[in-house]
Amino acid sequence: MQKILLVAALMSVSATGFAQRSSELSADLPDSRTMAVQDKVERIFDAGEFERAFFIYRNELVPLGDKYAQYMVGFMYHTGLGVEEDSVSAAAWYQLAAERDTREFVVVRDRLLHVMDQDDADLSRVLYRELRLRYCDLAVLLSSIKRNMKELQGRTGSRVGGQSSPVTVIESRANRYSSGSGYYGNIQEELEARVMLLKEIGDFADLDTDPDRINIRDLERRVRQHIEAEVD
């Protein structure tokens, strides 16, 4: 009976949860490519192609910081849709999805943890710690900062940079880039906004936000320590 009630609660989130897809770290919507993927996977899931939907949620949207996708991976583990049923993995993904304290995700997380035995709950928290190191908001934001720095390398030839890559959900804004100074100017603005945001949500009061003075190894160390401290 508990399982029936819990699955009913999960389905109620599934019916309304796509409102949670955009990043709450920004007032902006995801870029057009991300929104197209979100719409596609919704149609695939509704058509019952669960294995394909699971792959897209897990491998295309989760790494962008998409909290609804992270929730859906947990939901599919919990219900055995498209993947072998695994309540430990489900609980870990629900914990990740609830990182921003979105009420619906918190309710689902707490209900599942409440009915799990202590050993399984402990295992889920170990897995949650591993997931946070890769997919929590700070980790995704750090990845986007590193990508911006690599993109700017093409202009400056300095330690800041590299090649163009798709914009993630965590966005200062969604742009169509032009060539030359406008292209790199937009990337520079994104980098500055992301560093400021990382300073804010990580509570790194003494962080130097000047992109030209960023020490990426120090930034990685700070983010990892913050993530691990929040889980413990």
Q: What is the DSSP string of 4-23?
A: HHHHHHHHHHHHHGGGG-S-
> Any residues with CB less than 8 A from the CB of 61 and at least 6 apart, and which?
34, 37, 38, 41, 68, 69
Q: For residues 225 and 191, give the distance between their C-alpha atoms in angstroms, rounded to a whole number.
A: 22
For residue 10, the Cα-to-chain-centroid distance in whole angstroms is 20
Asked if 128 and 153 sit in the same domain, the reply is no
Q: For residues 87 and 112, give the distance between their C-alpha atoms in angstroms, rounded to a whole number.
A: 8
Asked if 107 and 37 sit in the same domain, the reply is yes
Q: Which of 135, 164, 188 is the last residue of a domain?
A: 135
CATH number at residue 11: 1.25.40.10
Give the per-residue pLDDT at 229: 86
Residue, of 31 and 117, whose pLDDT is higher: 117
* pLDDT tens-digit map of 60-109: 999 999 999 999 999 999 999 999 999 999 999 999 999 999 999 999 99
Asked if 128 and 146 sit in the same domain, the reply is no
Q: What percent of the chain has pLDDT over 90?
A: 59
Asked if 169 and 183 sit in the same domain, the reply is yes
Q: Which of 96, 115, 135 is the last residue of a domain?
A: 135
Asked if 196 and 174 sit in the same domain, the reply is yes
Is 167 exposed, middle or buried, given 0-12, 13-18 or 19+ CB atoms closer than 10 A?
Answer: buried
Q: For residues 152 and 214, give the distance between their C-alpha atoms in angstroms, rounded to a whole number.
A: 13
Asked if 105 and 156 sit in the same domain, the reply is no
Q: Which of 135, 167, 186 is the last residue of a domain?
A: 135
Q: For residues 78 and 75, give the distance between their C-alpha atoms in angstroms, rounded to a whole number.
A: 5
Asked if 76 and 168 sit in the same domain, the reply is no
> Any residues with CB less than 8 A from the CB of 8 and at least 6 apart, and which?
none
Q: For residues 202 and 191, give the distance between their C-alpha atoms in angstroms, rounded to a whole number.
A: 16
Asked if 11 and 114 sit in the same domain, the reply is yes
* pLDDT tens-digit map of 178-218: 455 678 888 888 899 999 999 998 999 999 888 888 889 99
* pLDDT tens-digit map of 158-182: 444 333 333 333 433 444 444 556 7
Asked if 42 and 115 sit in the same domain, the reply is yes
Asked if 126 and 166 sit in the same domain, the reply is no
Number of domains within the chain = 2
Are 74 and 97 spatial neighbours (Cβ–Cβ below 8 Å)?
A: yes
Asked if 171 and 85 sit in the same domain, the reply is no
Mean pLDDT lowest for which of 12-26, 34-48, 109-123, 218-232? 12-26
What is the residue-averaged pLDDT of the chain? Answer: 81
Structural domain including 59 reads 2-135
